A and B are shown apart, each in its own frame.
Chain A
Amino acid sequence: MAKRVLVTDDTAFMRMSLRNVLEKNGYEVVGEAADGEESVALYEELRPDVVTMDITMPKMDGITAIKKILEMDPDAKVIVCSAMGQKPMVIEALNAGARDFLVKPFQPERIIEALRKVAG
């Protein structure tokens, strides 16, 4: 069965690109969230296998969202997505419990590798 992914990013373009790569490689994108709050709500509703999480977003940032999701489900598998130069935030996200990180601009094979290793 295809792994179910929740994509979180405040830009529609990034959500679209991710969906594109993931679906081409046999993953099912079950939801798209545009900010942290939405992501937490959708996680509760959808219980996806993996979440991709942008860091800088309106309403609730990615790091807070990761913490909330992990409170809800300690086994949640979150991959944090960041731009270059956000190293301290990535480390914070990893310390908060993110399983891996992706750096924009995304390389498709890198996305798939992360998904494969994290989702199993």
Chain B
Amino acid sequence: MDFSEYKDVFAAEAREYIQSLNENLLEFEQTPGDEGLIAEMFRAAHSLKGMAGTMGYTQVADLTHHMENLLDALRQGEVAATGDLINILFDAVDLLEIVLEEVISTDHVYTDTSQVKEALALVLESNSQDGGSGFAQKAAIKLEAPALGLNEYDRELIKEAVAMDYTPLAVTVVLRDNVLMKSVRAYTVFQVLEKLGTVVKSVPSAQDLDDERFDDRFTVLLFTRHSSNRVEDEVLNIPEIVQVIVGELGLEEGEGARPAISIESRETARPSPGDRRPRNGSRGRVLEKFVRVETERLDELNNLVGELVISRTQVTEMAKHLEESHAKAAIAQLDRVTTELQYAAMKLRMVPVKQVFDRFPRMVRDLAKTAGKEVQLKVVGEETELDRSLMNQIGDPLVHLIRNAVDHGLEEEHLRRQAGKPAAGLIRLEARHEGSHVVIEVADDGRGIDAEKIKNKAVEIGFISREQAAKMTPQEAQALIFEPGFSTTDEVTDVSGRGVGMDAVKAALENMNGSVDIRSELGRGTSVSLRLPLTLAIIKALLVKVGSETCAIPIQSVRENLRVTPKAIKTIHGERVITLRNEVLPILDLSSLLGFEAPSHDGDLPVIVVEAGPNKAGFIVEELLGQQEVVIKSLSTMLGDIKGVAGATVLGDGTVALILDVSAVLDELSAESR
């Protein structure tokens, strides 16, 4: 049987199981003996084994089989949960991840798994509390799991049904080979079953059956008052059915509170070509509420929606000049629907940051072990959602920051004790919404950054002058570690309490239209905040006329609009400034900044006050055109990166507008003035 078409699903699900194994193992290390965790890990290993076996990845199946054996022995209380055993399980999960990625990308296993398998077997034997005999046989029997993948909810339903005198039946229906429109055939089976009782669930799910994502059989959970013979006869009377297996589900109250489900299956032998043994176990969990979609399809959809938004704007622009009210109403409707579609498509791109955060507990554990420190990681707000494309880019910067926090931010234990802090260092990883931004913060309660030492170092290596250093606020000094050429200097590492690569973090964030901010208190800790836009694709912008061109300024950086008389503009230290509410604000002519022809102004000048990070300035423009949502089109493929330009967009009337990268412009400005 060819399962290659299920490979993507296999890959996605296998990774989920690896993740859950990792999480549960971490938790298990803290609370060894937690039976719920063991059971969950056992199920994960078991499911992975079944999936890998189905896909024909025997080596993966074999490795998971060994893990399953050990976990089963743990579950049965036959072995003790020692530190050794847990470490070997960690090794096994790591190796499993490696070989899984190998089979996913190449269909082959290149890494040797024999050592870990031996280690698993060895620890099983040596930890064994009763000689360890006979468990392998037990594990083999456990393999015959019911195909329905019943969850707690299903079990409750079954209990209720039994109480109401219904018989819960697992009905597996096998179709003949090469059935045309097999989804419709499945539908007719459901029609018949619905007449006999209530269909509670099916594996594969009804949606998968409808989409013909099944092979030659499916299993349904049926509550009925008819006999299993009757059900079998009725289903067999449907054309193109070669075999029906009806099993009665019995509730067996074990010692524990959780009822065990057993299936007594009765096969109706019906010799026919294409007759096969029923498959053991289910092919993974059923995802009834979720559909897995290839990311490319999502991207395509988003791209098309982007195009539609542009066309919509063009059409609504034209409608302004229309007399005909019907057309106007229709266009208004189109406008509304497009806006909703745009919103819906944007939501499709959003994924919880949990996807990225999930790997950090394990990483922190390993880093802490290596560094010989005790570290506690607190994760907050992992359900916060972020654009998927940002999610892919945020991982590396976060790894940098967390690594730095463990390696350099947190002090050694004896230093912490001296400072009167708890021995275990705390790292807090938090995601939260702030307006149209998502902020991800990595904070530690470590030694903090010494601004004076940074200034001295910066002066020493000739990065800034002594005068500049004297003028700097502690915050500005701390921000120096983000400068390329500064933070990469090895000697700074120890001084700053922050390692290499902070400039890379900053660059990555700028790339995402985001910004990075650092706050640190000497002796108290450091917090680095990453500010990210919710989405990359569409932004709200203020459109302004600059020279003969139109520019879009992302609304998130606009603070206010002013009209300024030319006389109010003063020149201080060669810089043009105005005084705004007792604050000195640098003023720039946007047209000369962008190299457009500077228009001559009479009377008051429109000034737009923008802010990005610590910098603030006023841009002189020619005219304010209004606010609009624009779809960002990248320039990079055609023109490469242009400093100060974030991209371009096509407006309703077809003209191209440059989108200003305010934070880059302001950075340049403050660098010049220094």
7 contacts between A and B (CB under 8 A): A82-B181, A84-B180, A90-B181, A94-B187, A94-B188, A100-B239, A110-B239
The contact of B181 among A103, A113, A114, A117, by CB within 8 Å, is A103
Query: Is the Cβ of A101 less than 8 Å from the Cβ of B238?
Result: no
The contact of A91 among B184, B238, B240, by CB within 8 Å, is B184
B183 contacts A by Cβ under 8 Å: yes
The contact of A113 among B180, B183, B184, B239, by CB within 8 Å, is B239
CB-CB < 8 A to B183: which residues of A? 87
In the assembled complex, the CB of A3 is this many whole angstroms from the nearest CB of chain B, namely 16
B58 contacts A by Cβ under 8 Å: no
In the assembled complex, the CB of A24 is this many whole angstroms from the nearest CB of chain B, namely 19
Q: How far is the CA of A94 from the CA of B187 in the complex (A)?
A: 9
Contact mask for chain B residues 221-262; partner A; CB cutoff 8 A; 1 contact, 0 none: 000000000000000011110000000000000000000000
Contact mask for chain A residues 66-107; partner B; CB cutoff 8 A; 1 contact, 0 none: 000000000000000010100100110010000011010000
Query: Is the Cβ of A113 less than 8 Å from the Cβ of B240?
Result: yes
Q: How far is the CA of A33 from the CA of B427 in the complex (A)?
A: 79
What 7 pairs across the A-B complex have the smallest Cβ distances? A103-B180, A113-B239, A117-B239, A90-B184, A103-B181, A114-B239, A100-B239
Q: How far is the CA of A108 from the CA of B224 in the complex (A)?
A: 35
Q: A94-B184, A94-B191 are in contact. List 6 more A-B contacts (CB 8 A).
A: A90-B181, A91-B187, A94-B188, A101-B188, A113-B239, A113-B240
CB-CB < 8 A to A94: which residues of B? 184, 187-188, 191
Q: How far is the CA of A49 from the CA of B237 in the complex (A)?
A: 18
CB-CB < 8 A to A90: which residues of B? 181, 184
Contact mask for chain B residues 164-207; partner A; CB cutoff 8 A; 1 contact, 0 none: 00000000000000001101100110010000000000000000
Closest to A85 in B: B181
- Chain A residues at the B interface, C-beta cutoff of 8 Å: 82, 84, 87, 90-91, 94, 100-101, 103, 110, 113-114, 117
Query: Is the Cβ of B239 less than 8 Å from the Cβ of A87?
Result: no
In the assembled complex, the CB of A94 is this many whole angstroms from the nearest CB of chain B, namely 6
CB-CB < 8 A to A113: which residues of B? 239-240
CB-CB < 8 A to B187: which residues of A? 91, 94
CB-CB < 8 A to A100: which residues of B? 188, 238-239
In the assembled complex, the CB of B660 is this many whole angstroms from the nearest CB of chain A, namely 50
- Chain B residues at the A interface, C-beta cutoff of 8 Å: 180-181, 183-184, 187-188, 191, 237-240
In the assembled complex, the CB of A52 is this many whole angstroms from the nearest CB of chain B, namely 14
Query: Is the Cβ of A117 less than 8 Å from the Cβ of B238?
Result: yes
CB-CB < 8 A to B188: which residues of A? 94, 100-101
CB-CB < 8 A to A82: which residues of B? 181
CB-CB < 8 A to B181: which residues of A? 82, 84, 87, 90, 101, 103
CB-CB < 8 A to B237: which residues of A? 117
In the assembled complex, the CB of B274 is this many whole angstroms from the nearest CB of chain A, namely 14
CB-CB < 8 A to B191: which residues of A? 94
- With most chain A CB atoms within 10 A of its CB, the pick from B180, B188, B237, B238 is B180
Q: How far is the CA of A115 from the CA of B555 in the complex (A)?
A: 69
CB-CB < 8 A to B240: which residues of A? 110, 113
Closest to B236 in A: A117
In the assembled complex, the CB of B416 is this many whole angstroms from the nearest CB of chain A, namely 67
CB-CB < 8 A to A84: which residues of B? 180-181
Q: How far is the CA of A33 from the CA of B97 in the complex (A)?
A: 63
Q: How far is the CA of A117 from the CA of B238 in the complex (A)?
A: 7
CB-CB < 8 A to A110: which residues of B? 239-240
Closest to B183 in A: A87
- With most chain A CB atoms within 10 A of its CB, the pick from B180, B183, B239 is B239
In the assembled complex, the CB of A47 is this many whole angstroms from the nearest CB of chain B, namely 24
Q: How far is the CA of A110 from the CA of B239 in the complex (A)?
A: 8
Closest to B180 in A: A103
Q: How far is the CA of A100 from the CA of B180 in the complex (A)?
A: 13
In the assembled complex, the CB of A114 is this many whole angstroms from the nearest CB of chain B, namely 5
Closest to A120 in B: B237
Q: How far is the CA of A91 from the CA of B209 in the complex (A)?
A: 14
Q: How far is the CA of A114 from the CA of B181 in the complex (A)?
A: 14
Closest to A80 in B: B184
Q: How far is the CA of A49 from the CA of B191 in the complex (A)?
A: 22
Closest to B185 in A: A101
Q: How far is the CA of A100 from the CA of B187 in the complex (A)?
A: 11
CB-CB < 8 A to B184: which residues of A? 87, 90-91, 94, 101
Q: How far is the CA of A56 from the CA of B184 in the complex (A)?
A: 18
Q: How far is the CA of A11 from the CA of B56 in the complex (A)?
A: 48
In the assembled complex, the CB of B449 is this many whole angstroms from the nearest CB of chain A, namely 65
In the assembled complex, the CB of B236 is this many whole angstroms from the nearest CB of chain A, namely 10
Closest to A105 in B: B180
- With most chain A CB atoms within 10 A of its CB, the pick from B184, B187, B237 is B184
- With most chain A CB atoms within 10 A of its CB, the pick from B183, B187, B237, B238 is B187
Closest to A104 in B: B180
Q: How far is the CA of A87 from the CA of B187 in the complex (A)?
A: 11
In the assembled complex, the CB of B173 is this many whole angstroms from the nearest CB of chain A, namely 15
Q: How far is the CA of A76 from the CA of B244 in the complex (A)?
A: 28
CB-CB < 8 A to B238: which residues of A? 100, 117
Closest to B237 in A: A117
Q: How far is the CA of A110 from the CA of B238 in the complex (A)?
A: 12
In the assembled complex, the CB of A100 is this many whole angstroms from the nearest CB of chain B, namely 6
Q: How far is the CA of A90 from the CA of B210 in the complex (A)?
A: 13
CB-CB < 8 A to A87: which residues of B? 181, 183-184
In the assembled complex, the CB of B324 is this many whole angstroms from the nearest CB of chain A, namely 37
Q: How far is the CA of A101 from the CA of B612 in the complex (A)?
A: 66
Q: How far is the CA of A114 from the CA of B237 in the complex (A)?
A: 10
Q: How far is the CA of A87 from the CA of B184 in the complex (A)?
A: 7
In the assembled complex, the CB of A67 is this many whole angstroms from the nearest CB of chain B, namely 17
In the assembled complex, the CB of B383 is this many whole angstroms from the nearest CB of chain A, namely 38
Q: How far is the CA of A90 from the CA of B184 in the complex (A)?
A: 8
CB-CB < 8 A to B239: which residues of A? 100, 110, 113-114, 117
CB-CB < 8 A to A103: which residues of B? 180-181
In the assembled complex, the CB of B244 is this many whole angstroms from the nearest CB of chain A, namely 14
CB-CB < 8 A to A114: which residues of B? 239
Closest to A102 in B: B180
Closest to B184 in A: A90
In the assembled complex, the CB of B232 is this many whole angstroms from the nearest CB of chain A, namely 15
Q: How far is the CA of A114 from the CA of B187 in the complex (A)?
A: 16
Closest to A113 in B: B239
Closest to A101 in B: B184
In the assembled complex, the CB of A92 is this many whole angstroms from the nearest CB of chain B, namely 11
Q: How far is the CA of A58 from the CA of B477 in the complex (A)?
A: 83
Q: How far is the CA of A84 from the CA of B178 in the complex (A)?
A: 13
Q: How far is the CA of A80 from the CA of B298 in the complex (A)?
A: 37
Closest to A93 in B: B184
Q: How far is the CA of A67 from the CA of B598 in the complex (A)?
A: 76
In the assembled complex, the CB of B653 is this many whole angstroms from the nearest CB of chain A, namely 42
Q: How far is the CA of A37 from the CA of B177 in the complex (A)?
A: 36
Q: How far is the CA of A100 from the CA of B191 in the complex (A)?
A: 11
CB-CB < 8 A to A91: which residues of B? 184, 187
CB-CB < 8 A to A101: which residues of B? 181, 184, 188
